[in-house]
A and B are shown apart, each in its own frame.
Chain A
Amino acid sequence: MRQLAATLPRRLRALGGEGESRLLPEARLSGPMPWVIAIMIALTVVAAASALALRHAAAAASADLEGGVTVQIVSAAPAERQRQSQTALDVLRRAPGVLHAEAVPQDQLNALVEPWLGTRTGDDLDALPIPALIDVRLRAAATPAALDALRTALARQAPAAHVDAQSSWLAPVFRAIGALQWAAGGLIALFAFATASAVLLAARNALGIHRETIEVVHMLGATDLQIARVFQRSMATDAAMGGLVGLLAGVVTTLGLGRQFSALGSGMVAQGSLAWTDWMVLVAIPIAGVLLVMVTARLTVLAALRRML
C-alpha cells in the first residue's frame, strides 16, 4: 500500500505519455517564449484577416463594377443636355448587350456635388451645368470593344455623350488594395521569420542551459533524434500555449476592427467581411506556427548536437 502510494503519481504521469519528454523541465507560461509566439501569432492573425478582408472587398467591388458603364452628357445648355440625355437613354435601352440603363435623377446629382458646392438657401443647383448621368449595366464585362460599340451608337444622336467604364475610375483603388495585400503577405512572412529566429535563439539558449543533462543523456545512449524530439515537444507546448493566446488576441482585435469599419457605412468596406473559410484560415495560423516552431527547434538542436560527440 505504501509503495502504491509512493508510485501513484508516477503511474499517473506514465498514463499521460511521459517518458523521454520529461528529460527536460516542462514548458511553462512563465518563460518569454510563449509570449513572443503569442504576439507573433496575434499580429499574423490581424495581418491575414486584413488581407482576406481587402481581397473580399476588392472582389466584391470588382464584380459590381465589371459590367457598369457611366454615360455623361456634357452640355452647358440645360435643354440640349436634357434632349441628348433622353435620346441617349432610348439608344442605350435598344442597344444589344445592355441589360439596364437609367438616368440618375437630378436630386441625386445635386446630392453628389453638395459636399463641394454647399447648400445655401436660395442656391439653384439646377442652374449649374452639371453633366447628366446615365447608369448603364451591360450583360457582360465592360470591355473596350463594348464601350466602343456604345460610343458609335451614341455618336450621331447624342454627340455630347462620354462613355466610361465604372471600373476604370476605381483602378487606382484596386491597385492600392493589391499593394496592401502584398504588404500583408510580406508582414506575415516577416512574422514567420521573426518567430523562427526567436525559436532558434530559444533553442540554443535551452541547449546551453541543459548542456549537462544532454551530455549525460548522450552518455546513456540517447540518439540525437531522441534529444531533438524532447526539445521539439517542449517548444511545441510553448508554441501551442502562445498560439492559443495569440489567436484569441488576434481574433478579438480583428472583430473590433471589423466593427469599427462597419460603422463607416461604406458599401465597399461592408463587403470586406470574413467568410467562415477565412476564419478557418485564421485558426490554421497558430497550427502553422506550432509546426514552424517544431521544425525550427528540431533543425537547430540537431545541428548543435552534431557538434558534440
Chain B
Amino acid sequence: MALANPKGTVLPSMNQPAAEIVQFDNVGLRYGAGREVLADVSFTLYPGCFYFLTGASGAGKTSLLKLLYLAQRPSRGLIRMFGTDAITLPRERLPGFRRRIGVVFQDFRLVPHLSAWDNVALPLRVAGQAEQDIAKPVSDMLEWVGLGDRFDARPATLSGGEQQRVAIARAVIARPDVLVADEPTGNVDPDMAIKLLRLFESLNRLGTTVVVATHDLHLIRKVPDSLIMRLDKGKLADPTGALRYPPRRQRQDGATALDAADLP
C-alpha cells in the first residue's frame, strides 16, 4: 500500500513549534435565529497529529466538523486554516482549500449514479489529474479496503459497510493535509474498523492531520498517541488546556490522551 510509511511524522513542540494547520479562536455557530450549537470553541490542530472528537449526540460534533471541512462559516470567532483566515476567504479560493481536506461523511454521501471506482476517483478528477494517472491508485485503494471485486458496483448495490469503505477510500485517495471523518467505522465489523484505523494512522504518519468523530472508546484506545476533543453542549472541554496550548513534546512522553481525558 502506497500510504505505508512509518517515517516522517511531524510533531509539534514548544521548542520547535510546527505551524498550526487549523486554529479556532472563540468560534460560535448558530443556524438561523436558533441558539448557538457551538460556543467559544478554541483549539489548535497541528500537522501530523491524530485527534478524536467525542461527545454526546447533539453536542455539536457534526457542526464542528462542518466548520473544519469548510461547509459552513461560523457566526462568530476566528478560524485560520493552513495559515489563512478562513472566515474572510474569498469563495473562489475555497476549492483549493477543500482539496487539502479529506472528508468521510457520516451518511457517506456517495454519488449514486457513479460506480464505487468512479466515486473514489472523484477527488483526483476534480483536482484535474489525467485518467491514466488515476487508474492505478484508485484500483489499489479499492483493493486495499477489500472492494477489489466491486469496482463497477453502484452505491445502491453496496452494503452499509461497503459504502463506508468507499467513502473512506474517497476521502484519503488524494492524501489530504487534513482528514475529517464523522463516525467512519460505524457500519463496519471490528476487524475492518481496525484495518481502517490503521489506514488513518498510515496517512497520519505521512503528515496528515486526522480528526475522527466517534463514540467508540475501543477505537480511541487503539491510537495511544491521539488527542481527545470532547464537546459538551456546544462547548469544547479542554481541562488540561492541551488543545489550545499544546504541551511541549506532547506526543513523545508516552502518555495517552485517554489518560487525561474526561470521557463520557
Which of A174-228 touch B at CB < 8 Å?
Answer: 212-213, 215-224, 226
Which of chain B's residues have a CB closer than 8 A to the CB of A145?
none
Tell me if B103 and A20 are in contact (CB < 8 A). Answer: no
In the complex the two chains form, is B99's CB within 8 Å of A221's CB? Answer: yes
Q: Does chain B have a CB within 8 A of A6?
A: yes
Stretch at the interface among B14-22, B119-127, B232-240: B119-127
Interface-forming stretch among B3-11, B88-96, B248-256?
B88-96
B225 within 8 A of A: no
Q: Which positions 104-160 of chain B face chain A at CB distance < 8 Å?
A: 105, 109-115, 117-118, 122-123, 125-127, 131-132, 135, 139, 148-149, 151-152
Residue of B72, B118, B126 with most partner-chain A CB within 10 A: B126
Residues of A within 8 A of B113 (CB): 24-25
Q: Are A19 and B125 in contact (CB under 8 A)?
A: yes
Interface pair B149/A226, CB less than 8 Å apart: no
Residue of B nearest to A18 (CB): B131
Chain B residues bordering chain A, tally (CB within 8 A)? 38
Chain B residue nearest to A3 in the complex (CB): B139
A221 touching B127, Cβ below 8 Å:
yes
Tell me, rounded to whole Å, the shortest Cβ–Cβ distance linking A303 to chain B: 13
Chain B nearest CB from A15 CB (Å) reads 9
Residues of B within 8 A of A226 (CB): 126
CA gap between A219 and B111 in the complex, in Å: 12
In this complex, what residue of B is CB-closest to A9?
Answer: B152
The reply to whether B98 and A221 form a contact with Cβ atoms under 8 Å apart is yes
Contact B92 A219 (CB under 8 A): no
Task: Provide 8 A-B residue pairs closer than 8 Å at the C-beta atoms, listed in order of the A residue.
Answer: A7-B139, A14-B135, A213-B111, A216-B111, A219-B71, A220-B98, A220-B122, A221-B126
Q: Which residues of A contact B (CB under 8 A)?
A: 3, 6-7, 9-11, 14, 18-20, 22-25, 212-213, 215-224, 226, 306, 309
Q: Enumerate chain B interface residues (CB-CB to A < 8 A).
A: 69-73, 91-92, 94-99, 103, 105, 109-115, 117-118, 122-123, 125-127, 131-132, 135, 139, 148-149, 151-152, 170
